[in-house]
């Protein structure tokens, strides 16, 4: 088959090789420096990366750890969330958002999402608050921040902690109504948590995570908890975890941090192109698809470009038959996961989340995605619906 005179090749959902090609020499030089030093766990290279992340996010402290999941667990533990404490969060997110709450003895309490943003609906939060509620854990899903003004107002009034799951949103910004200032994802609540999984906008060569905060005492607890609760070797003030960031991951991420804003800008440009191409098809007006919503007070960095699509599974199969890779985030909302049956939720409890689980489809959005590939994807989706 041909596409505008060119041979059609497989369109991968993510292509990290193109990104790596332009920074290959910098990466190898940085890794070689770690190998020469023979200092692989925490140490000066990790501290330098933490300093740079803190400066990038404009906060006082950044604390590296082994994964985004551990960032959530340690942040919850450091803020005092424990046995029986309730934490309000969204059921439409990656598993670790809720599992981290259970790992510190807490209870996840789910509320539904806003259908346009895929993020937690702040106006449903207050109805879920009880005497045992200690925190709200909003997720900035797919790279666009939740409505933090509303969430923070409720949290302040009800004396709740706010811990941001910003795993997909490093670099996203939010316009705070009261101050009129833009704040980075992860910096509005008590603490913010990031993941450096390879497919994130800032991705490592394996797992890695980061916590950010302006609270000196909290940062100190985070640093203790990531190394078995120990500030001095073999002397333990707390019971913590083995969750240290590797120096090799730190230097890889530090090299990439310099390019992060440019890569996120390229993702937005790809999203703009998708939007324009889909508007030309008439699929939006005819109700076949809904393109991602964007809000003026939140800058979307498009870790994912996620449509709502009728007959989603059949569409995905059709795209796959044309060698176009897509992904489903998330096919089963958390309140319907088998392991959370004990919470007592049932089908139809959170209709917006359940609809998203049935209709959400993410398209390739990575930097350097060829224009021709985007045109082919949109044309293939249009062809699927127009044949009906």
Counting runs of H as helices and runs of E as strands, what totals does the chain give?
Answer: 12, 17
The predicted pLDDT at position 388 comes to 64
Helix (H) or strand (E) holding 25: helix 16-37
- Per-residue confidence (pLDDT) for residue 318, from 0 to 100: 97
Helix orientation angle between 16-37 and 44-57, rounded to the nearest 10 degrees: 140
Chain centroid to CA 306 = 13
Q: d(Cα 13, Cα 305) in Å, to the nearest integer?
A: 11
- Residue 9: the pLDDT is 74
d(CA 250, CA 239): 25
Backbone angles phi, psi at 248, to 5 degrees: -65, -45
Q: What is the pLDDT of residue 8?
A: 55
Query: Any idea what DSSP says for residue 41?
Result: B
Q: What pLDDT is recorded for position 276?
A: 98
* Cα–Cα distances in angstroms (integers) from residue 75 to residues 79, 178, 194, 271, 281, in the given order: 6, 26, 11, 32, 45
Residue 302, pLDDT score: 98
pLDDT confidence of residue 2: 46
Average pLDDT of the chain is 95
- Tell which residue, 184, 205, 268, has the closest CA to residue 30: 205
Looking at residue 5, its pLDDT comes to: 46
pLDDT at residue 1, as a whole number? 42
pLDDT score at 292: 97
DSSP H or E stretch at residue 255: helix 247-257
Global pTM?
A: 0.94
In whole angstroms, give the CA distance from residue 172 to residue 115. Answer: 20
* Residues lower than pLDDT 50 in the chain: 1-2, 5-6
The pLDDT, as a whole number, for residue 232 is 87
């Amino acid at each position: 088959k041909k596409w505008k005179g060119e041979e059609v090749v497989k369109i991968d959902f993510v292509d990290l090789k193109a990104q790596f090609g332009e920074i290959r020499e910098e990466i190898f030089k940085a890794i070689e420096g770690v190998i020469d030093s023979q200092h692989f766990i925490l140490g000066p290279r990790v501290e330098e990366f933490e300093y740079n992340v803190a400066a990038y996010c404009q906060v006082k402290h950044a604390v590296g750890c082994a994964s985004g999941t551990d960032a959530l667990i340690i942040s919850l533990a450091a803020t005092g969330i424990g046995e029986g404490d309730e934490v309000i969060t969204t059921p439409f997110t990656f598993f670790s958002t809720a599992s981290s709450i259970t790992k510190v003895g807490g209870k996840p309490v789910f509320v539904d999402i806003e259908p346009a943003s895929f993020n937690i609906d702040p106006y449903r939060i207050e109805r879920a608050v009880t005497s045992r509620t200690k925190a709200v854990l909003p997720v900035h899903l797919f790279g666009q921040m939740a409505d933090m003004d509303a969430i923070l107002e409720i949290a302040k009034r009800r004396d709740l902690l706010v811990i941001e799951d910003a795993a997909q949103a490093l670099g996203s910004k939010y316009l705070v109504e009261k101050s009129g200032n833009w704040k980075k994802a992860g910096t509005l609540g008590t603490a913010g948590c990031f993941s450096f999984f390879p497919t994130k906008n800032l991705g490592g060569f394996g797992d890695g995570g980061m916590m950010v905060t302006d609270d000196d005492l909290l940062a100190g607890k985070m640093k203790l908890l990531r190394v078995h609760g120990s500030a001095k070797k073999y002397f333990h003030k707390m019971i913590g975890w083995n969750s240290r960031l590797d120096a090799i991951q730190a230097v890889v991420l530090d090299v990439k941090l310099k390019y992060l804003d440019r890569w996120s800008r390229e993702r937005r440009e790809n999203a703009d192109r998708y939007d324009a191409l889909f508007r030309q098809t008439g699929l939006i007006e005819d109700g076949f698809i809904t393109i991602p919503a964007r809000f003026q007070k939140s800058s979307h960095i498009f870790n994912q470009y996620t449509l709502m699509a009728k007959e989603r599974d059949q569409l995905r199969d059709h795209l796959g038959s044309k060698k176009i890779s897509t992904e489903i985030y998330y096919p089963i909302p958390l309140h319907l996961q088998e392991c959370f049956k004990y919470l007592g939720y049932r089908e139809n409890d959170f209709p917006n989340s359940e609809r998203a689980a049935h209709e959400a489809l993410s398209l390739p959005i990575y930097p350097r995605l060829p224009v021709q590939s985007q045109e082919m994807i949109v044309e293939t989706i249009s062809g699927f619906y127009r044949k009906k």
